[in-house]
Structure 1
Amino acid sequence: MSEIVIVNTRPEHIDQLVQHQRICFPTLADHELMRREHFESQLRLFPEGQHVALDGDRVVGQSSTFRISGAIALAPHTYHWIVAGNFFTNHDPEGEWLYGADMSVHPDYRGRGISRMLYNARKDLVRRLGLRGMVGGGMIPGYVRYRDQMSPLEYAQAVAAGLLTDPTLTPQLRAGFELRGILPNYIEAGELGNDSTLIVWENRG
């Protein structure tokens, strides 16, 4: 098994990242996906907040973040609005929270701990910058099987209680995130639904 390494995203990774988005998020609306101009803007505004997982020269995972104030990040919001159409122009160099805009692992590489490695890179950045923690909106792809039985909040709470397992929320909880609620109509995710979780990881030193 080859060694996976996490490094800061560089311009030469962008072409792969554009394809990586479409592979990892086939149900997302086109305007929700990150394109070349988005990755270029993210690198220009906050290069230390962008990471890729590499298998040799191949991009197999990706993480995009920016800084923001808690007054904005912890209030109700949509993905498209808070990430400024994926350009990250809402990035606040003085923001006390790291906003996790996007994280993905190539389907062929899932189950190898890459998301944990990417979350650890984010945590290291939070600690290095002395931020309060991380905030994000997370898709709940497993909810599609339960949508006729419970609300998104009930489903997320069941996952948080360990009664159900979700492909996205369960790893986030294992990474130390706490469920803080639901963000209605957060993202256009097709059959997976548009509601997402509001998750928070606090930097406790």
Structure 2
Amino acid sequence: MSYKKEFFVFDGTKPRKTIIRSYKHDDFDDLIRVQKESFPPPFPSELWWNETQLANHVELFPEGALCIEVDDHICGSMTGLLVNYEPSDPDHSWEDITNNGYIRNHNPDGNTLYVVDICVSPAYRKLGLGKWLMFSMYDVVVHKHLKRLLGGGRVPSYHKFSDKLSIEEYVNEVIKGTIQDPVMTFLLRCGRTPVKAVENYLEDEESLNHAVLMEWKNPFGN
């Protein structure tokens, strides 16, 4: 089953036609372009999508492979897979839980929609597209009667505070609002709540390889 939602976002006072939909094979070049624009160095270029990964996304879980268009221009995407997860499970890395982005471990009977990736081209970030993508994935959680949406969020400002704060202390300061983190604060604004900090989650110099697992629970109590 594919996903499609049409609405308007506002660029100042100007409405701009926007569509969130399941992405297709014809979109792969644009999706890779968006990855390059969204994750410039020092983010590792080998972690940008390749066509094999994208093909798996659309074939294994099309409802979890979403892109966003503004005025017919693809400027963002979000990808997920289904897994079984309980808070008591041992820590995992991004590579392990997502099959290194290939999602061959997608479990159609899983209880959790796990976020593989979300990105928006920098020139479009003022339009709030990342939040719209996140809310669309919440739609999928409700539609499929899942327990939660879950994913590991980078903490790209942590390297500025690591000499003074442990990762757990840093997370608490972000929650209190005394520190603004570009990713974690964004996820809080989207309604996600922290589950726990994880070490060695992803090769990421700015986050010192840390991430924070953050979830959104299905409000219908599944």
TM-score class normalised by the smaller sequence: over 0.9
What do residues 105-126 of structure 1 show as CA deviations (whole Å, max 9, x unaligned)? Answer: 1111112111110011001111
Contact 1:32 1:80 in 2 (8 A): no
Structure 2 counterpart of 1:9, from 19, 23, 30: 23
Contact 1:53 1:59 in 2 (8 A): yes
Does 2:213 match 1:198?
A: yes
Provide closer, same or farther for how the CA distance between residues 146 and 166 of structure 1 changes in structure 2, counting only shifts above 3 A: same
- Structure 2, unaligned stretches of length 5 or more? 1-10
- Structure 1, unaligned stretches of length 5 or more? none
Shift of 1:193: 2.1
Superposition TM-score, scaled by structure 1 size: 0.94
Contact 1:73 1:99 in 2 (8 A): no
What do residues 152-186 of structure 1 show as CA deviations (whole Å, max 9, x unaligned)? Answer: 22111111122211111112112111111111011
Superposition TM-score, scaled by structure 2 size: 0.87
Residue of structure 2 equivalent to 1:165: 180
Residue of structure 1 equivalent to 2:204: 189
Report the structure number with the largest CA radius of gyration.
2
Residue of structure 1 equivalent to 2:32: 18
Provide closer, same or farther for how the CA distance between residues 187 and 53 of structure 1 changes in structure 2, counting only shifts above 3 A: same
Identity fraction in percent: 27
Q: How many angstroms apart in 2 are the aligned matches of 1:90 and 1:73?
A: 20
Alignment map for 1:143-162 (pairs within 5 Å): 143-162=158-177
Q: In the alignment, residue 149 of structure 2 is paired with which amino acid?
A: M
Which secondary structure does the structure 2 equivalent of 1:164 belong to? coil
Q: Which has the higher contact order (CA 8 A, sep 6+)?
A: 1
Provide closer, same or farther for how the CA distance between residues 138 and 149 of structure 1 changes in structure 2, counting only shifts above 3 A: same
Equivalent residue pairs, number: 205
Which secondary structure does the structure 2 equivalent of 1:190 belong to? coil
Shift of 1:143: 1.5
Shift of 1:20: 1.4
